Structure 1
Amino acid sequence: MNLIDSLLSEVRLMFRRPERVQFAALCYRFRKKSAMPEMLLITSRDTGRFVIPKGWPMENRCSHEVAAREAWEEAGVKGEVSPDSIGAYHYDKRMSNGLKLSVMVKVYPLVVFDMAKRFPEKGSRRLEWMSFTEAAGNVAEPSLRTLILDFQTKLLETMKADQQDPPRSAAG
């Protein structure tokens, strides 16, 4: 029976559909008084748990552009999105028919410069700015937690390096 079970498992894997991919924005800004970074979490519409803005691929848009578009639609934020992903995490998306799909989410950092008063999903989600550490503690996916904390470390290292490097003059 073990051989048959093993073969069936291998056949299922061969015919499994490709993994679904979404693109997400890790939205962050710098506090005005302290210049310390903080990030934005939003609530999902169905469960109310904290997530980052994400969505499915869009025709004629690069993955980082999709992430920026989702940040606008779901949270009303605009800014500069990096074309480079900081990593990915997996989660199980529950579909309306009850099925669960395994989804890989590629994450792109987006520094926020503007927040709109009106945006497509206003009123259907709660938005909350918090420290990266708080945000990591509020998301359900362990690999997203790791991405958040790793990005915070890199961001703080960059800020520290920028403070230590003297500004260069135009002549110089």
Structure 2
Amino acid sequence: MKITLTVNGEEFPLDVEPRRILADVLREDCGLTGTHLGCEHGVCGACTVLVDGEAVRACLMLAVQCDGGSVRTVEGLTGSDGEPSALQRAFSTEHALQCGFCTPGFLMVAAGALEADSTLADHPERVDHIVGSNICRCTGYEPIRRAIMRAAQEQQQATT
């Protein structure tokens, strides 16, 4: 099937098999390897991307379901100048990554939440829910929680 995806602001006209998952198309056809495949069952969250602003598991979504839509991957978090986003800087500051395999998924689920909720800093229980939605085998989750809270607090301060 012929589809068009807008990925990180760039249009990709593609010809894909209807059964191909979004994660494979992003990695193999678009050359964006930041989206990781872990469990391939939608459990671990390593493949999380934003589709039309919503966090989705790219291992469970068919690429054809995104035809005409906007997809944002971890590569799309950096600014046009190549500088890391505030969220990426918070992950670095709080040492919220070790092996890094799960990091793109955590970054994307957090980015979606931060974009949708400007009051996230006032609701640590929401941050706990975000952190609990993905699996990490290295960090013990606390640094990830601190990083998301830091980014949420910085976002809130910037808007007040």
TM range (shorter): 0.3 to 0.5
As a proportion of its length, which structure holds more strand? 1
As a proportion of its length, which structure holds more helix? 2
Per the normalisation by structure 1, the TM-score is: 0.31
Specify the structure having the higher radius of gyration (Cα): 1
Per the normalisation by structure 2, the TM-score is: 0.33
